[in-house]
Amino acid sequence: INKIGNFYVGIKNGKIAKISKIPFEGGKKIDINGKLLLPGFIDPHVHFRDPGLTQKEDFKTGSESAANGGFTTVIDMPNTIPKTNTYKALKEKIAIADKKSIVNYELQAGWNTLEEMEKMISLNPIFMDLENDETLEGIFEDLGTLKKTTSYNGLVAVHCENKAIIKKEISRLKQKEENIPIDYSYARPAKAEDESVKQAIELASANNLNLH
């Protein structure tokens, strides 16, 4: 910090309004001299498990942990009970997050019928593959159709793990006399991610979608 010097940062209505090397007046002063000021981080892959699995995590405990680590925006996965893949489930999850979350949030929604996904678009989710390798092509084709016929922006998030490769590795590892924690990683070799990323890029390109 000594190499770049100290700056004064002005905040107005929750946003940075002014940065200056010269002091200026403000309604409230906070002295953080000698420290670094960073923007809030974004975590695009959280599992708050709310509703249905809140014994693991919920939006309150998850968002508090996020804020404690400097994350001011989270994007939650749809692996809850019920799955977040209907208009009703998505609307209920929004109500939960609005009530419990202390940070900004976005929600991912899973695959369903075109009719159901079209309903969900009005709630502005990020769509995510939530099925298996065999259905991935159909998911991308449906989302490509939605992009052409609705206001959907074409953003799709993919959890890149080729399930066939993982299933094979799990079967192999189960032959051991005893499993240890590192076996979980061995069951997910780099090849499983490489193959899945390659497939996702090809499908996103073919269907004119934006890929995360």
pLDDT per residue over 69-122, tens digit each? 999 999 999 999 999 999 999 999 999 999 999 999 999 999 999 999 999 999
| Eight-state DSSP code of residue 92 | H
Q: Would you say residue 2 has pLDDT above 50?
A: no
What are the pLDDT digits (tens) for 36-73?
A: 888 899 999 999 999 999 999 999 999 999 999 999 99
Of 158, 64, 51, 136, residue with least CA distance to 95: 51
Confidence bin at 207 (pLDDT 50/70/90): very high
Average confidence (pLDDT) over 146-171? 92
C-alpha–C-alpha distance, residues 153 and 197, integer Å = 21
Q: Report pLDDT for 34.
A: 80
pTM exceeds 0.85 for this model: no
Among residues 41, 54, 44, 118, which one has the least CA distance to residue 77?
A: 44
Work out the number of other CB atoms within 10 angstroms of the CB of residue 183. Answer: 15
Query: Which residues are within 8 A (CB) of 72 and not within 5 positions of it... i.e. 6 or more apart?
Result: 40, 41, 42, 66, 103, 104
CB count in 10 Å sphere of residue 6 = 11
